[in-house]
Amino acid sequence: MSDSRPRLLIVDDEPINLRVLVEALSDDYRLLVAKDGDEALRIAAGASPDLILLDVMMPGIDGYEVCRRLKEDGETRDVPVIFVTTLSDEEAEARGLDAGAVDYITKPVNLRTMRARVRTHLHLHDAQQRLATLSRMDELTGLLNRRSFDEALDTEWRRNLREETPLALILCDIDHFKQYNDRHGHLAGDVCLREVAGAIANAMRRPTDVATRYGGEEFAALLANTDGEGARRVAETIRANVASAVVGAVNGRGEGDVVGPVTISCGVAVVVPSAAAHPTDLVARADAKLYEAKAKGRNRVEE
């Protein structure tokens, strides 16, 4: 049976301190322990703790340096760190918080307050994570939003530039969506957007494939390390999935209804990124192809 409790990493070179913290927290959390900074960094990188309790004075690298390195590493940057130390002067506390810690507790610790503080910081961290996730999502369709698309495009552009591999973009637009909304109402329009989003998401096969709502009735699929043939195949799959689906919806009066079918047009662009080019060039090319698909009669893919 897997242990779903939050995972804490406790770092201290003194077994008695470790023992006290383990006693305080073992009922509610899964606890990992490290006795020096190097071990702490190794465990933090491998075990993805939800929170780290960190001593300052330890053999080898001290707690401040451990915290600094944790905050530099993309994998551990967001893990909350609480310093637990006997250093009680103002300067030491300020240094700890400056290093990126969320809290600073002086020894000897009171088990009740320690538990409360850990619980509070885990709740705060959880709320922050959920907010961060929400800020990246499109609420209606459940796909990533435009901001996430911009970030993903930037990241994948640089990755494919480094690896000299092709980066593909598929821009999709629902055909005659305004008329669809006018005829069936905006609630039906929302259902339509969700179903098209689902069809696009279903066509994403690899973990690196990114499906986003680009805006309005437009969607974008970003495919790293994908050539023209591969991108066209994915675009055709999306188009066929949407065209064959009968979009179930509710009408403006909240009654069950069946409307559709719906079709989409897709523009496909593929480039091997170069230092001279810019990510927006890829978007512009895919956009031009999308217009071409519309001009050629819609419900089609243009590359």
Active site residues per annotation:
217
Q: Is 112 in the site for other proteins (CB under 8 A)?
A: yes
In whole angstroms, how close is the CB of 16 to other proteins at the nearest point? 4
Q: Which is nearer to other proteins, 108 or 256 (CB)?
A: 108
- Go through the chain and tell me how many residues it has: 303
Pairing of strands 218-224, 167-174: antiparallel
Place of tokens 């069809």: 199
Q: Is 146 in the site for other proteins (CB under 8 A)?
A: no
Q: Is 17 in the site for other proteins (CB under 8 A)?
A: yes
Q: Is 57 in the site for other proteins (CB under 8 A)?
A: yes
Q: HEC string of 47-104?
A: HCCCEEEECCCCCCCCHHHHHHHHHHCCCCCCCCEEEEECCCCHHHHHHHHHCCCCEE
Query: Which segment (28-36, 177-185, 224-232, 288-296) binds other proteins by CB under 8 A?
Result: 28-36
Q: Is 31 in the site for other proteins (CB under 8 A)?
A: yes
Give the separation between CA 72 and CA 52, rounded to whole angstroms. Answer: 15
Q: Is 122 in the site for other proteins (CB under 8 A)?
A: no
In whole angstroms, how close is the CB of 51 to other proteins at the nearest point? 14
In whole angstroms, how close is the CB of 122 to other proteins at the nearest point? 17
Query: Which segment (15-23, 128-136, 202-210, 287-295) binds other proteins by CB under 8 A?
Result: 15-23
Q: How many CB atoms are closer than 10 A to CB 282?
A: 22
Pairing of strands 218-224, 248-250: unpaired
**CA 282 → CA 150, 168, 274, 288, distances in Å?**
12, 8, 11, 10
Query: Which segment (11-19, 178-186, 220-228, 270-278) binds other proteins by CB under 8 A?
Result: 11-19
CA angle 243, 244, 245 (to 5 degrees): 95
Sequence-distant (6+) residues with CB within 8 A of 78 are 125, 128, 129
In whole angstroms, how close is the CB of 124 to other proteins at the nearest point? 23
Give the separation between CA 230 and CA 223, rounded to whole angstroms. Answer: 9
Query: Interface mask (CB under 8 A) for other proteins, residues 81-110, using x and -?
Result: -----x--------------------xxxx
Q: Which is nearer to other proteins, 4 or 179 (CB)?
A: 4
Q: Is 275 in the site for other proteins (CB under 8 A)?
A: no
CB distance 302 to 268 below 8 Å: yes
Q: Is 45 in the site for other proteins (CB under 8 A)?
A: no
CB distance 263 to 180 below 8 Å: no
Q: Which is nearer to other proteins, 110 or 280 (CB)?
A: 110
Q: Is 116 in the site for other proteins (CB under 8 A)?
A: no
Nearest to 20 by CA among 110, 138, 101, 89: 110
Candidate residues 111, 272, 284, 288; the one interacting with other proteins per rule CB under 8 A: 111
Question: Number of residues in contact with other proteins, rule: CB under 8 A?
Answer: 30
Task: Write out the residues near other proteins by the rule CB under 8 A.
Answer: 10, 13-20, 22-23, 26, 30-35, 39, 43, 47, 57, 59, 86, 107-112
